[in-house]
Amino acid sequence: MIEIQDLHKSFGPLQVLKGIDLRLEHGKVLVIIGPSGSGKTTLLRCFNLLEIPDRGTLQLAGLRIDFTDNRQIPRKTVLSLRQKTGMVFQSYNLFPHMTSLGNVMEGQVTVQKRSREVAKKRGLELLAKVGLADKTESYPHQLSGGQQQRVAIARAMAVEPEVLLFDEPTSALDPELVGEVLKVIRQLAAEGMTMVIVTHEMKFAADVADTIILMDQGVILEQGTPQQVLRQTRNPRALQFLNRLIGEE
């Protein structure tokens, strides 16, 4: 289970998160939507401590972390949390000098201390799972954006995380490549992978999410099922945002 209570985060005088509360059960999918600058990516990065909250509480994968102003989080705690989460970035962040298989093996060997033989076997399994069994020896520059993102998903899965985090996984892709990435994420959702996804793909959000939160100016405007948030909201700001997105589709 993931639980966040009264989470705050500021960058200097700019208050980005203003008391976030949410709960996600194991095996469920949380989708975070909202306009640019709403705080959704900052919130996502708090899940694995790429951003350290100023105050509040985070419970994830058996760990509980209490944040207070200026309190240093032990490095051991940060590493332990990150080993339980997998992050997929919008810009792929693959190692350019490594093949697809090398990218998927790297974390297994350096972080989990698996043998190269075990890491290779797992890497081949995961690349096949994301439809890239024929691209194991290809380098990132030889792959399309969609293929690179699927390698990034396989890499995130390789360390067997309890939670997968996605930051706008299709925003850097050409429109015709979006579907192949969303297909992989849908498959993971069907298999019961716990996921937190920041996205602007509303149809995808409605299809894959168990819970959607709509953020604006550092707070949660709406939280509920896709039907409740996308179809039944009466919040004027939420309606303004959703109507604008529908008009762009």
Question: pLDDT tens digits for 125-167?
Answer: 999 999 999 999 999 999 999 999 999 999 999 989 999 999 9
The C-alpha atoms of residue 130 and residue 11 are separated, in whole angstroms, by 37
The C-alpha atoms of residue 154 and residue 123 are separated, in whole angstroms, by 8
DSSP 231: I
Max mean pLDDT among 52-56, 79-83, 244-248 falls in 52-56
In the three-class reduction of DSSP (H, G, I as helix; E, B as strand; rest coil), residue 129 is classed as helix
Beta-bridge partners for 196: 30, 165
Look over the chain and give the mean of its residue pLDDT values, rounded to a whole number. Answer: 92
DSSP 60: E
**Residue 248's pLDDT band (boundaries 50, 70, 90)?**
low
Centre a 10 Å sphere on the Cβ of residue 240 and count the other Cβ atoms it contains. Answer: 11
| Torsion angle in degrees (nearest 10) through CA of 88, 16, 30, 130 | -10
Beta-bridge partners for 56: 67
**Cβ neighbours of residue 203 closer than 8 Å, sequence gap 6 or more:** 249
**Residue 83's pLDDT band (boundaries 50, 70, 90)?**
confident
In the three-class reduction of DSSP (H, G, I as helix; E, B as strand; rest coil), residue 45 is classed as helix
- Strands (E) across 124-207 are located at 163-167, 195-198
pTM: 0.93
Q: Are 201 and 169 in contact (CB under 8 A)?
A: no
Q: Tell me what pLDDT residue 173 has.
A: 87
Sheet holding 2-11, edge to edge: 14-24, 2-11, 55-60, 63-67
Q: Tell me what pLDDT residue 57 has.
A: 96
The structure tokens listed for 153 are 């998903």
